[in-house]
Amino acid sequence: MKQTVLFIIFFLVAFHSISQERSFFENPVIRGDMADPSVIRVGDTYYATATSSEWAPFHPVFISTDMINWEQTGHIFDEKPEWTSHSFWAPELYYHNNTMYCYYTARRKSDNVSYIGVASAEGTSLRFRDHGPIVELGTEAIDAFVFDDNGQLYLSWKAYGLDQRPIELLGSRLSDDGLRLEGEPFSLLRDDEGIGMEGQHHFKQGDYYYIIYSAKSCCGPSSDYDVRVARSEDFRGPYEKYEENPILSGGDGDYISVGHGTVVETPDGRYFYLSHGYQTGDAFFLGRQPVLHELEMTDNGWVRFTTGKQAVNRLPVPFEGTVQKEAPDFKDDFSGESLKVDWTWNYPYAEIDATLQDGELILTGRPIAGNKHGTALCLRPQTTQYSYQTKISNVNDSFKGLTMYGDDKNLVAVGITDNRIEVRSVRDGDGSVLFQVVPDKRTPHFKIDVERGCFLTFSYSEDGKSWIPVNNTPLNVAFLVRWDRVARPGLIHIGKAEAPAAIDYFVLKNGKE
């Protein structure tokens, strides 16, 4: 009897522990570099998109039913809109009259100035059609947001960020079809402190209109981005900035910095803020990842986060009964009809040609703007410790293999050219061969092991099972971080278009093998 009672107690304690564990989730909720996220809810489904910067396709799209488990379904654009050149930043989703809109920032092809365009899709089809630029004002206009004030739509954006004057958040009436501005722009909020102001979100609660916005430095290892709030009794202002700003920041604990997000309301009336954050430690090398924090109203009519002023990793799940999934491994045997949606490529530096043919990927490209270092096809890394490998099926004088890719002037790679195996490094445009060998047998398999997000070990193999390491001391590739993005693992081809890479498979496994 005593043993039975002890067993029951043990079972209840264990069950309670499991239940308690499952009632929390870990930020980031979307793993990998995905800055400036926007989120909306339509019915019971949440939709998110984000900056894609210098990676194509443009603005990844994710869906979720619980805000902690997300699945990528595609992109806002598979091809660049005609008016754009590059720098696809800060898209903002909005749903109105059975139409989903995306207001996005890109550089205008004619002069490379950043302006705001708009695209729309019927219902929740996610098949977006571009309508061209909607805001072309000053020397820069970025970070759009749409707000419905009792039936009147407004568009707001960040202005004057490149001018010798204070940054302002400007607003304008928006047509009911969401495709054009009406009337003259007006000032909503001005950065008189000189600390920056962008990534705004508007909402109304009670007697006040609120602007949640971000300030300070968005990007890189020294980022000190944070989240602030201002309020007004009229949408057009004047706005009062909260004297206890910032209301969310990094600096200590789990995050270096946090900011630029949007608020979404759950069906039961709770508010959650999806923004990006740089994690501290090795996870910095995963970039600006989407993190979720719950908001609440204070007794004196301001806004605060339920977990306090510091961004944190561990929070209660938004909906009880949901369990957060682990970061999945990735495998592509190239047997499908098209590339998987996870793949991204370096569109400013190469016109890619990635063809699936008889169970192989035929990869090549045409360099752009003086690019001497090929075409990269990459994934967003989701953990700090992982390995990835491939098999090259053909022999020619092009270099082909695996890469960790920052941009066309900053990358490392391991692969084969003719019968030589090489490890190459490119730093600030200067290339060098770190290792070279002519093996006795054909060795078409290559592998890179990643530790701590930026330490790489290169290996090659005849059969994909027995590996020969190239470097005993892992190579530190922290220099691959760009000002607004981090390096990505993937495949690379360097050479003439008529000498492509034939690739049999690609596998990325998270964790230590």
Phi-psi region of 229 (alpha: psi -120 to 50; beta: other; left: phi over 0): beta
The whole model's pTM is what? 0.94
Q: What angle do CA 36, 40, 41 make, to 5 degrees?
A: 155
> What tokens appear for 477 in the block?
């590739």
Task: Return the beta strands (E) in 18-98 as ranges.
Answer: 24-26, 38-42, 45-49, 58-64, 71-77, 89-96
Residue type, 172: S
Beta-carbon contacts of residue 215 (< 8 Å; ≥ 6 apart) = 191, 193, 195, 196, 197, 198, 225, 226, 228, 246, 259
| C-alpha–C-alpha distance, residues 22 and 27, integer Å | 14
Confidence of residue 239 (pLDDT cuts 50, 70, 90): very high
Nearest to 58 by CA among 37, 79, 84: 79
Query: In this predicted structure, what is the pLDDT of residue 513?
Result: 66
- Indicate the DSSP class of residue 474: P
Percent of the chain with pLDDT strictly greater than 90: 93
Round to whole Å and give the CA distance between 121 and 101: 6
The DSSP output letter for 431 is E
Q: Are strands 226-232 and 240-241 parallel, antiparallel or unpaired?
A: antiparallel
> Which residue blocks in 194-233 are alpha helix, DSSP H?
none
Cβ partners under 8 Å of residue 310, min gap 6: 248, 249, 250, 251, 252, 253, 254, 255
Position 483 scores a pLDDT of: 93
User: What percent of the chain shows pLDDT beyond 70?
Assistant: 96
Going along 160-310, which residue ranges are E strands? 168-174, 181-190, 198-205, 208-215, 226-232, 240-241, 248-249, 255-265, 271-279, 289-297, 303-305
Partners of residue 88 on adjacent β-strands: 53
Sign of CA dihedral 167, 216, 227, 67: positive
Q: What is the pLDDT of residues 161-203, one digit of tens each?
A: 999 999 999 999 999 999 999 999 999 999 999 999 999 999 9
Name the one residue in this structure whose structure tokens are 């695996």: 402
pLDDT digits (tens, 9 = 90+) for 63-81: 999 999 999 999 999 999 9
Q: For the chain, what is the radius of gyration of the CA atoms?
A: 24
**Model confidence over 411-422: pLDDT tens digits?**
999 999 999 999
pLDDT reading at 22 higher than 80: no
Ramachandran class of 333: left when φ > 0, alpha when ψ lies in -120 to 50, beta otherwise? alpha
Reported as a pLDDT band with limits 50, 70 and 90, residue 252 is confident
Spatial distance between the Cα atoms of 278 and 287, rounded to a whole number of angstroms: 6
- For tokens 């654009």, name the residue: 77
Which of 170, 209, 172 lies closest to 191, judged by CA?
170
Q: Kindly report, residue by residue over 222-235, the tens digit of the pLDDT.
A: 999 999 999 999 99
**Lowest mean pLDDT across 52-61, 377-386, 437-446:** 437-446
Residue 4: which H helix or E strand, with range?
helix 2-22
- Whether residue 470 contacts residue 423, with contact meaning beta carbons closer than 8 Å, is answered with yes
End-to-end CA distance of the chain: 46
Work out the number of other CB atoms within 10 angstroms of the CB of residue 85. Answer: 16
Query: Do residues 226 and 259 lie in contact, with contact meaning Cβ atoms separated by under 8 Å?
Result: yes
Q: Alpha-carbon distance 216 to 363, whole Å?
A: 41
Q: Distance (Å, rounded) from C-alpha 119 to C-alpha 91?
A: 10
Whole-angstrom distance, CA of residue 258 vs CA of residue 276? 6
CA distance 405 to 425: 10
Question: CA distances (Å), 285 to each of 103, 271, 279, 288, 365, in order?
Answer: 28, 29, 9, 9, 27
Asked whether the predicted pLDDT for residue 4 surpasses 70, the reply is no
At 75-129, the pLDDT tens digits run 999 999 999 999 999 999 999 999 999 999 999 999 999 999 999 999 999 999 9
pLDDT tops 70 at residue 14: no
2 pLDDT higher than 90: no
Q: How far apart are CA 473 and CA 460, in angstroms?
A: 16
Mean pLDDT rounded to a whole number for the chain: 95
pLDDT value at residue 16: 43
Could you give the C-alpha distances from 375 to 62, 237, 239, 398, 432, in angstroms and in order? 26, 49, 48, 11, 18
* Calpha distance 226→247 (Å, rounded): 8
Number of H helices, E strands in the chain: 1, 39
Give me the pLDDT at residue 1, please. Answer: 47
Answer yes or no: are the C-beta atoms of 191 and 182 closer than 8 Å.
no
- Judge contact between 167 and 213, C-beta under 8 A: no
Task: Determine if the peptide bond prior to 500 is cis (ω within 30°).
Answer: no
Q: Given this model, what pLDDT does residue 440 score?
A: 85
Banded model confidence at residue 369, pLDDT cuts 50, 70, 90: confident
